[in-house]
Amino acid sequence: MILREYTSQINNSKYPRSTARKIANDLNKNDPLNNYLVSLELGSKRYIIEKFEIRGINR
């Protein structure tokens, strides 16, 4: 699942790759049950953050 709310913030910054990595690290700290990865959208060459839900964990 792509998190669209961060896409414009990342690609409007001066260093989009490091900004995307920083946001993903913050999200991973705040939400340990899911995994957030930075990836490059091939068509537009924009950095995006994708959320991978980890299933099968009993809370």
Question: Greater confidence, 37 or 59?
Answer: 37
* Cα-to-chain-centroid distance, residue 12: 15
Number of domains making up the chain: 1
* Residue 58 forms part of a structural domain: no
* Residue 26 forms part of a structural domain: yes
3 state SS of 13? coil
* Residue 59 forms part of a structural domain: no
What is the residue range of 29's domain? 4-53
pTM score: 0.76
Confidence (pLDDT) at 27: 93
* Residue 11 forms part of a structural domain: yes
Strands (E), the chain: 34-41, 46-53
Q: What are residue 19's phi and psi, to 5 degrees?
A: -65, -45
Kindly indicate the confidence band of residue 45, based on its pLDDT and cuts at 50, 70 and 90. confident
Confidence (pLDDT) at 56: 62
CB neighbours of residue 20 within 10 Å: 25
> DSSP character for 33?
T
Confidence (pLDDT) at 2: 82
**AA identity, residue 36:** Y
> DSSP character for 45?
T
